[in-house]
Amino acid sequence: MSNISFSHIVAASSNHVIGADGGLPWDIPEDMKFFRSTTAGKIIIMGRKTFESVGHPLPKRLNLVVTRQKDYIAEGAIVFSTIEEAMNFAKTKVDDYDPEIFIIGGGEIYKQSLPLVDTVYLTRIHQDIKGDTLYPQLDPAQFELSHQEDRTEPVPFSFLTYKKVSSRSGR
């Protein structure tokens, strides 16, 4: 049980935009591939709006959806009324999936769960992009960069991995 961890996986522009009009304001195939390969076989937790934006459960993953609506039905997913309930349920399923549990958005869910994650896989798109949903700015006292890979196509972007400072120091 002790190696269970929670991670964010997110793509954000220089000005911290992650979404616009309920969808993604860019199309970066290599980032979609990174998302698919990183979360394959894992448990994923998402907000109701992100679930509806994707439009279907993501295959080969255990899909957990968070909503305050009573009786919300998400076909192919399990519904929870708080983030904590979804996280606690996920912990009971790691033997069938993977001890690294992914929180995949969107803005509301990232913001509320940021204090609870150990790792942030952040695809940083090096452009200012217009949008209505933001990812919080990471506090360098809380998260330190542990890995970086830069890309130029179709736009300049970087795959960044941040680790929580306290979790790296062996807390």
Ligand X SMILES: NC(=O)c1ccc[n+]([C@@H]2O[C@H](COP(=O)([O-])OP(=O)(O)OC[C@H]3O[C@@H](n4cnc5c(N)ncnc54)[C@H](OP(=O)(O)O)[C@@H]3O)[C@@H](O)[C@H]2O)c1
| Contacting positions for ligand X (CB under 6 A) | 10-11, 18-19, 22-24, 46-50, 53, 66-69, 81-83, 104-109, 112, 133
> Considering the complex, what minimum distance in angstroms separates the CB of residue 113 from ligand X?
9
- Map tokens 């999936």 to a residue: 97
> Considering the complex, what minimum distance in angstroms separates the CB of residue 152 from ligand X?
20
d(CA 137, CA 114): 10
DSSP output for 62-114: EEEEE-SSTT---TTSEEESSHHHHHHHHHTTGGGS-SEEEE---HHHHHHHG
DSSP code of 116? G
> Considering the complex, what minimum distance in angstroms separates the CB of residue 35 from ligand X?
8
Angle at 163 (CA atoms; ends 92, 122), nearest 5 degrees:
90
32 versus 92: smaller Cβ distance to ligand X: 32
65 versus 94: smaller Cβ distance to ligand X: 65
> Considering the complex, what minimum distance in angstroms separates the CB of residue 26 from ligand X?
8
81 versus 142: smaller Cβ distance to ligand X: 81
71 versus 95: smaller Cβ distance to ligand X: 71
Residue 2 structure tokens: 């002790």
> Considering the complex, what minimum distance in angstroms separates the CB of residue 66 from ligand X?
4
Residue 166 structure tokens: 């306290």
> b/e per residue, 130-142, with b = 16+ CB within 10 A?
ebebbbeebeeee
57 versus 107: smaller Cβ distance to ligand X: 107
